[in-house]
């Protein structure tokens, strides 16, 4: 609905551009009339472009607000389980008791993968990065469920969403076991979602009675919840753009995993630990900060494109971080170094002036390290959790008419003729 109108005057002609207002957030100016005017909009990095209308997630970067289906993230993280949040993302609201039982039952009964899928792993070098394995194996799921790839059929889309949310932890744990050279552990459906993931990661055939620490399982579940969705970020936009071609959901999620891998996005939590390794000890922090200020390096796990005051997920994650470190009584020089870095960055005018606060990845990296997850698995865990968001956006997109995503460009290349060049000796 058009609530107001903006006017654009170009080449002496005035165009009326409808303004649409959502429930929350900035209104948007509908620029489709530009097509008639013979102009395109130019917005590198999509800083002010809203290519979709969505009801899933709302972010207010200035206020540090994040809502999923209208519920604040801190309320969800403290009171709901990750699978309940998944249900809300997929279906529009948190489940009632019956819906919850049915959804949990469906997810937990789909956690296994086809035995033949195990063979895919053998095609990778044993030291392959688990994200590389994830990209290949998740994409390969489309070869296993080719009878359910019709994205125009809501039933097939729904079962695919369940399969993805259920199988991703199994594939993630397998990608770790493979690089570790340990046998894959079959999922155990008597565990909850987070416990099952930890079991598949850390149990071995010699230790099938492996006990999952409830503090760790709860922290893991919170990490999943805090990473479940984040509006139209780079990986979600990649999934939507890929899905706009009609590509199958497994391939779209594999595309999302690729986009997430980059260090400016989901690769940041791994990059935080790599940076801590590079700094080495608390004695080198001051010197490293000087390098950051000279713009030779970036402080990984700090800053955010959208949150310019604080990241609401980081607040919950910091509390969880303190809880986990306290409960496990862990003292690690790397964690001490991280805390020193956080303290300096929060006080130093360079970071304060630029609103560079620790983001969710700074604390999640520290928690994951404390609970024994290897650094190379950090982004995999992010991908596991974000699959719910990606698939929810894909379903939302497919539930209404949409166009193939096709941005324009400002061409600044040459205009030439090759005839003379090719014919000259
Ligand atoms: N360390 C040091 N300086 C930084 C950092 C950082 N992490 N981030 C931004 N800056 C500085 C820039 O140099 C720039 O300084 P200037 O004004 O003197 O030129 C200013 O802050 C603004 O930076 P931009 O690049 O314009 O900020 P943008 O919003 O485009 O970048 C980004 C956001 C990519 C997340 C950036 O902060 C960054 O690279 N952070 C480190 C990587 C990271 O932690 N990513 C995880 C994001 S959260 C997630 O994906 C879940």
What's the pLDDT score for residue 425?
A: 67
Of residues 310 and 300, more confidence is placed in 300
Our answer on whether the CB atom of 359 is closer than 6 Å to any ligand 1 atom is yes
- Cβ–ligand 1 distance for 260 under 6 Å, the answer no
Q: Which helix (DSSP H) or strand (DSSP E) does residue 73 occupy?
A: helix 73-79
What pLDDT, on the 0 to 100 scale, is given for residue 379?
Answer: 92
Q: Would the pLDDT of 165 be above 70?
A: yes
Q: How far apart are CA 83 and CA 173, in angstroms?
A: 18
According to the model, what pLDDT value does residue 89 have?
98
Output 182 or 34, whichever has higher pLDDT: 182
What distance in Å separates the CA atoms of residue 194 and residue 170, rounded to the nearest whole number? 11
For helices 360-370 and 333-347, the axis angle rounded to 10 degrees is 160
Region 51-79: what's the mean pLDDT?
95
Condensed to tens digits (0 to 9), the pLDDT of residues 373-418 reads 999 999 999 999 999 999 999 999 999 999 999 999 999 999 998 8
361 lines ligand 1 (CB under 6 A): yes
Residue range(s) of every CATH 1.10.580.10 domain in the chain: 71-404
Catalytic-residue membership of 322:
no
Whole-angstrom distance, CA of residue 57 vs CA of residue 92 = 10
Which residues lie below 8 Å from residue 381, measured CB to CB, with a gap of 6+?
Answer: 172, 223, 224, 227, 368, 373
- β-pair type (28-29, 13-20): antiparallel
Q: What is the pLDDT, as a whole number, of residue 3?
A: 60
Catalytic residue flag (residue 304): yes
Atom of ligand 1 nearest to the CA of 227: 51
Residue 268's pLDDT is what? Answer: 82
User: Which of 238, 303, 379 for a ligand 1 pocket mutation test, highest count of atoms within 8 Å of Cβ?
Assistant: 303
The pLDDT of residue 243 is above 80: yes
Average pLDDT over residues 363-375: 89
Q: Longest Cα pair distance anywhere in the chain, in angstroms?
A: 80
Q: Is 28 helix (H, G, I), strand (E, B) or coil?
A: strand
Contact 386 CB / ligand 1 (< 6 Å): no
Q: Please, which residues have CB within 8 angstroms of residue 363's CB and are 6 or more apart in sequence?
A: 314, 317, 318, 320, 321
The torsion angles phi and psi of 60, rounded to 5 degrees, stand at: -120, 105
Please say if the pLDDT value at position 330 is more than 80. Answer: no
DSSP H helical segments within 244-279, as ranges? Answer: 249-261, 268-279
DSSP state of 29: E
Assigned superfamily of 71-404: Citrate Synthase, domain 1 (1.10.580.10)
Domain with CATH 2.20.28.60 in the chain: 2-60
- According to CATH, the topology of domain 2-60 is Rubrerythrin, domain 2 (2.20.28)
When the pLDDT of each residue in the chain is averaged and rounded to a whole number, the result is 92
| Cα–Cα distance, 224 to 81 (Å, whole number) | 9
Q: Pairing state of beta strands 57-60 and 13-20?
A: unpaired
Q: Which of 189-193, 329-333, 351-355, 387-391 has the lowest mean pLDDT?
A: 329-333
Res. 106 pLDDT band, cuts 50 70 90? very high
pLDDT grade for 1, boundaries at 50, 70 and 90: very low
Distance CA 50, CA 371 (A): 38
Contact 15, 36 (CB under 8 A): yes
Tell me how far apart the alpha carbons of residues 315 and 120 are, in angstroms, rounded to a whole number. Answer: 39
Cα gap 119→212, rounded to integer Å: 28
- Centre of ligand 1 to C-alpha 302, Å, is 7
Given pLDDT bands bounded at 50, 70 and 90, which one contains residue 359?
confident
Q: Are strands 65-68 and 2-10 parallel, antiparallel or unpaired?
A: unpaired
Residue-level pLDDT at 366:
85
């Amino acid at each position: 609905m058009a609530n107001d109108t903006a006017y654009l005057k170009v080449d002496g002609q005035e165009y009326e551009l409808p303004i649409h207002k959502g429930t929350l957030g900035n209104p948007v100016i509908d620029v489709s009339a530009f097509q008639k005017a013979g102009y395109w909009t130019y917005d590198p990095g999509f800083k002010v472009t809203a290519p979709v209308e969505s009801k899933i997630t709302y972010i207010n970067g200035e206020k540090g607000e994040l809502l999923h289906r209208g519920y604040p993230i801190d309320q969800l993280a403290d009171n709901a389980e990750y699978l309940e949040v998944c249900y809300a993302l997929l279906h529009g609201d948190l489940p009632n008791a019956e819906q919850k039982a049915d959804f949990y039952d469906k997810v937990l009964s789909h956690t296994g993968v086809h035995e033949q899928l195990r063979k895919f792993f053998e095609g990778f070098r044993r030291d392959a990065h688990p994200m590389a394995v994830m990209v290949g194996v998740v994409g390969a799921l489309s070869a296993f469920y080719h009878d359910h790839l019709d994205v125009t059929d809501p039933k097939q889309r729904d079962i695919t969403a369940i399969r993805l949310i259920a199988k991703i932890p199994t594939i993630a744990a397998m990608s770790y076991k493979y690089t570790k050279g340990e046998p894959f552990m079959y999922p155990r459906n008597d565990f909850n979602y987070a416990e099952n993931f930890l079991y598949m990661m850390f149990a071995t055939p010699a230790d099938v009675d492996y006990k999952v620490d409830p503090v760790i399982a709860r922290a893991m579940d919170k990490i999943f919840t805090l990473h479940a969705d984040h509006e139209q970020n780079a990986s979600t936009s990649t999934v939507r753009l890929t899905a706009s071609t009609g590509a199958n959901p497994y391939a779209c999620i594999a595309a999302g995993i690729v986009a997430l891998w980059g260090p400016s996005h989901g690769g940041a939590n791994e990059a935080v630990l790599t940076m801590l390794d590079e700094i080495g000890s608390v004695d080198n922090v001051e010197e490293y900060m000087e390098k950051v200020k000279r713009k030779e390096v970036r402080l990984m796990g700090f800053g955010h494109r959208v949150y310019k005051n604080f990241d609401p997920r980081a607040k919950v994650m910091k509390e969880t971080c303190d809880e986990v470190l306290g409960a496990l009584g862990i003292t690690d020089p790397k964690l001490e170094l991280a805390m020193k870095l956080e303290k300096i960055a929060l006080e130093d005018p360079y970071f304060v002036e630029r609103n560079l606060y620790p983001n969710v990845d700074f604390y999640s990296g520290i928690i994951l390290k404390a609970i024994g997850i290897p650094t190379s698995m950090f982004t995999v865990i992010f991908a596991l959790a974000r699959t719910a968001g990606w698939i929810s956006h894909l379903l939302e997109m497919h539930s209404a008419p949409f166009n193939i995503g096709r941005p324009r460009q400002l061409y600044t290349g040459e205009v030439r003729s090759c005839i003379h060049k090719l014919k000259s000796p």
